Structure 1
Amino acid sequence: MSRKYTDWELGQHTLLESMNHIAELVDDAADKELPEQARQALCLCDALEAHLDARQLVELNYFRANAWSVIRYANHRNGSNIWEWNQPEILYEIYYLRSAVRSSGFQSLDLSRQCQILVNTANILNHIGRPIEAIEHWTRAINVLPNFAMARGNLGFGLESYSHHIYDAGHQIVIFKEACSLLRSVTDKGIIWDRIDYQEIKNNMVEKAENIESNVDFRSIQHVSLTEHSLGRSLTERRYREWALDNVLFLSPLNELGAYPIAAQDILNLPDMVRPIGEPPHFIGFFNQIKQEFTSARFLCWQGIMESKNHKKHYSDKKVFLFNTLDYPAYSIFVEQVKIAFRMAYSLFDKIAFFINEYWSLGMRECSINFQSIWFKGGNRKNSPVLRDCFQNQQNLPLRGLYWLSKDFVENDRYGNIALGETMEPDAFMLRSVRNHLEHKYLKVHDDVWNYTDRSEKGLFADQWAFHLSMQELNEKTIRILKTARAGLTYLSLAVHREENIRRSQMPDKLTLPMKLPQWEQF
């Protein structure tokens, strides 16, 4: 490392000079593959952080993420350990990218920088097996700058990769077609590139589109319409389904493509499975139940949000005598519906863990199973738990996606400054506290009309027992946990599909008999 990088004294330079220096430091480390220089940049970031405003802090977290990316590439450059699941550099990289995206100063960045951060977030999420969240971030970047080439092209790459994990051939082809269109769009007039080596990248994208076209027969879907599908007979049902489509909450891979009516059905199920003769279909029954709980939570969330916004009164709230605590509380059955939806959605992750324990025959005691513990063995006061042998270097990308999804949560409840390394979700402890207050304590919701913002612990009406949220905050957090649960259910289904293929390839030739189950009908 050169002296100009090691001898920098923050107190002798302006904030702008220091920020520019850190940016140069990280860029140089990336170009020359210098992980120690990237660590030096991280130290400077830590020293500078307390002096920055919201906008500058977004940039700083972007630099931090890029520095961790340099370290990650250095540690895994030869590709021999690309399937190593436990890579702490990834956790830090995603944590800082998310911190940047969610900061109040993010919108003040220039549009190109916003897109760069969103695309980087999407790329690393896709790398670890979480394409659903990646697609969301690429799409956000396109919404910011529709002609941003790296968002369009990488979304095309991501959809193409996602298609390979889907076991429904019809869905595969529809998604392949959208991927092909996006990859070819990087040659459109007015496209915006932010890379010096854009010509090589553009050629790779076009080559991938040509490869898709030469291997996929699109004639089978030439009469398939994405839009000519009913959303229901009643206006209420249509509004519900439109809301679910807009929020990407249907259990259908096609919802990733947009709010198309063709995706307004919860078609996702478990793939074909080879099981011992005489074994009851308990995996299917369990997945049915998880799926039903998700869709019920989704509806409760929608109904609670819509009726609360309309200030609709319900007869069940009639003659319920409550005191006004003068901090603008919101009480109604519809508020409680949203709370119930949050609790139901949050509970699904431990149920996914129970499924993993049974399907992969991990042998954990039921009382020890949760979405964080399921991946590890051992661990005590002296030694940290280690990743289970059956998951070490396992080439099952959706399953690895579930592992990294568990990093969005924490087992213990601690609301405050996060301990970096425990989770890659900046809001993990807050979400855990919301859940625990709903389950065991006291969550108070405040009316948005009065713009409740006073969170101080002092004052006559400061309620220190409660966890305080505005109605809008509760709605947003519930939708967010529903989206995460949807991703978890999708990855679980795709992980089972991948595992079934692995098991079949290792299975000696034996006679298997199909078992057909009828569809459960209510309508």
Structure 2
Amino acid sequence: MATLSDIALSDDLGQFEIKEIYSATHQLLQELQQAKAEAYPGRINSMINHLKERLKGKAAYPLVVLLETSHLSIRHQQQKDWNSDLKQLQLELYDNTLETYRGRIPASVWNQVCLNYAETLVHTGRSIDAQAVLKEMVKEDKDPSFQRLNGEFGWTLIFYSTFLPVKAERLRALEKALELFHVAQTDIQDDKGKKLYEERIKLAENMVGQLGDVEPVKLVDQPAPTEDEQRYLDWSAEQRLFLNSGNDIEPDTMAKRDLPLRIQNNAFLGNYLDSLTHEFTSMRRSLYTALTADEVADDHKMDGDNTVYSQRNENLKQVYRQAYSLFDKMALLMNHALQLGVEEPRANFQRIWFEEESLKKPLKPFIQTTKNDALKALYWLSKEVYGYELSEEQSMLVKKALHIRNRIDNSYLQVVKKAEPFEKESARAQSHHITEAELERLTLMMTQKARNGLMYLQFALAIGKK
């Protein structure tokens, strides 16, 4: 069997089996992490690129992406710039892999990608989005990655708790994290994994101890909801669409209500945040109505036509459009709250972070030097929505989402029952098509991102004031 040095020094990697090269690359990455220097300079990249060529188009290809993202992460850690091109490329690769390989690869591979992506998101401040990625995991009891699901969800809560301004909320997040860590210890079969969660249990217990005395939060009693209203509340909680930190901790308990934070002693900013809150909740209701409404007969349809014209789909398009509008309104609120001095027409969610609002300029000091992790989470969310300016390529999700937005805003978008076979002659027309299922999925996803943005914004303002 080939040794590590045999593979690393070889000029012909094609003579080795894929699993041998994969194992050797993994070992070199571990050594790089520990030694901070490559034992065989340049060979990790060469081996990863070789594996890409041999696995292109195959179900195992995402495993090579995991090697590449690990390499990028290690190299990023050796830099001082938290916003390096390496970090941006790493996130873009994860995002693209999930969108490209959804439903096309074995559960064990998919779950491993989800775990690694969620871990990366946590360390960029985006603990809420990390939870959304973990929810994408596929149940496979014997899969070592799936066995860590509860524990990794608890890990997101450790980071999330640092955003919460109320002690009682932090305590609830930490107690839930502890509960999930103990479940993970039972689920996980390997000793190394059990030891990891032993350490995390100690961390959570120490954080609980540091809280001291905690006064419980008293909620105002509300009238019992009607049966229809209860279905709406259950759906909103399940989709994690309430503006309430509890919805990210225990969706089935007190999370079924909105509890937005307030901006004190500033009438303008307070009214602005209230307005965004009500705009979002109205959008959420419209989405629920569209997704659960019965179809109305289509009077603009010919026999055999694959296109679906309905009020339901037009409502989905409107919600999709509103989500992007909310992002820009969040940017304008930041502009006022942080006194950035940007002229209103230029204050949008994609560009507010850069000098002169230009993607080619450096980051402004308010974000470049900030210690406010919730503010950084907002910045990284803007990358996932609009694209990574330091990356040569954008993910399939970003391309698709922005393409659809452009079609809705500036051209036309036809909704079809099922995807049509690609025809080169009608490629332009087909670029204006989207299936009903895809429109529903992407509209829900953009609504969730808008909700998460509002949560990060509220936390960022509260942390900044403190």
What range is the shorter-chain TM-score in? 0.7 to 0.9
**Structure 1 pair 430–35 and aligned structure 2 pair: CA distance change class (3 A):** farther
> What secondary structure sits across from 1:401 in the alignment?
helix
1:444 to 414, 436, 441: 414
Give the counterpart of 1:487 among 452, 459, 462: 452
Q: 1:216-266 CA deviation, whole Å, 9 max, x = no partner?
A: 579855999xxx997721x32222222211111111111112431521112
1:404 matches 2:380: yes
Match status 1:392 vs 2:384: no
Specify which of 205, 209, 230 is matched with residue 210 of structure 1: 205
The answer on 1:62 being equivalent to 2:57 is no
Alignment of 1:449-488 (within 5 A): 451-458=418-425, 464=429, 467-488=432-453
- The gaps in structure 1 that reach 5 residues or longer are 76-80, 276-280, 412-417, 502-523
What letter matches 1:349 in structure 2? F
Which residue of structure 1 aligns with residue 119 of structure 2? 123
Partner of 1:508: none
| Alignment CA distance shift 1:60-1:230 (3 Å) | farther
Residue by residue over 1:166-210, the C-alpha shift from the partner in whole angstroms, topping out at 9 and shown as x without a partner, is 12343333222212222333443x5334x74x4652332231233
% identical equivalent positions: 22
1:232 partner amino acid: P
C-alpha distance in 2 between matches for 1:404 and 1:473: 24
**How far, CA to CA, are the matches of 2:17 and 2:434 in structure 1?**
39
TM-score, length-scaled by structure 1: 0.78
- The 8 Å contact of residues 308 and 416 in structure 2, kept in 1 or not, is answered as yes
How many residues align? The count is 459
Letter in 1 for 2:123: H
Matches of 2:246 and 2:256, distance apart in 1: 9
CA distance in 1, matches of 2:42, 2:224: 53
Q: C-alpha distance in 2, partners of 1:182/1:117? A: 21
Long gaps (5+) in structure 2: none
Which of 254, 257, 260 matches 1:265?
A: 257
Contact 1:444 1:468 in 2 (8 A): yes
Change (3 A) 1:43 1:260: same
Matches within 5 A, 1:198-347: 198=193, 200-216=195-211, 232-233=225-226, 235-272=227-264, 274-275=265-266, 281-307=267-293, 310-313=294-297, 322-324=300-302, 326-347=304-325
Q: Among residues 326, 334, 337, which one is paired with 1:348 in the alignment?
A: 326
Evaluate the alpha carbon distance shift between residue 496 and residue 51 of structure 1 in structure 2; reply closer, same or farther with a 3 A threshold: same
Equivalent position of 1:374 in the other structure: 352
Q: Report Cα offsets for 1:33-86 as digits up to 9, x if no partner.
A: 3368686433443454344233121111111111111212222xxxxx4xx542
For residue 452 of structure 1, report the CA deviation from its aligned partner: 2.7
Name the SS for the 1:427 alignment partner. Answer: helix
Question: Alpha-carbon deviation of 1:267?
Answer: 1.1
Measure the CA separation in 2 of the matches of 1:304 and 1:20. Answer: 49
* 8 A Cα contact 2:168 2:214, kept in partner: no
Quote the offset at 1:389 in angstroms.
1.8
Structure-2 change in CA distance of 1:443 and 1:43 (3 Å) = farther
Please state if 1:29 is matched with 2:21: no
- Is this contact kept in 1: 2:355–2:364, CA < 8 A? yes
Residues 50 and 497 of structure 1: is their aligned pair in 2 closer, same or farther, counting only changes over 3 Å? same
CA distance in 2, matches of 1:115, 1:349: 30
Q: Which residue of structure 2 aligns with residue 515 of structure 1?
A: none
Return the alpha-carbon distance in structure 2 between the equivalents of residues 24 and 325 of structure 1.
60
Please give the alpha-carbon distance, in whole angstroms, between the structure 1 residues aligned to 2:224 and 2:98: 33
The 3-state SS of whatever aligns with 1:384 is coil
Distance across 1 between alignment mates of 2:104 and 2:224: 35
Give the drift of 1:379.
7.7
Q: Report the more deviating stretch, 466-475 or 212-221.
A: 212-221
What SS does the corresponding residue of 1:330 show, helix, strand or coil? coil
Give distance in 1, aligned partners of 2:361 and 2:218.
53
Native 8 Å contact 1:58 1:106 kept in 2: no
Q: Is the 8 A contact 1:166 1:172 kept in 2?
A: yes
Shift of 1:300: 1.4
Contact residue 29 and residue 38 of structure 1 kept, 8 A: no
In 1, the alpha carbon distance for the partners of 2:422 and 2:149 equals 38
Q: Is the contact between residue 30 and residue 70 of structure 1 (CA under 8 Å) also seen in structure 2?
A: yes
Q: Is the 8 A contact 1:58 1:105 kept in 2?
A: no
Secondary structure of 2:101's counterpart equals coil
Aligned-pair distance for 1:282?
A: 1.3
Q: 1:98 maps to which residue?
A: 95
Aligned match of 2:133: 137
Secondary structure of the corresponding residue to residue 182 of structure 1: helix
Q: TM-score, normalised by structure 2?
A: 0.86
Partner residue, 2:159: 161
For the aligned residue pairs, the C-alpha RMSD in angstroms reads: 3.4
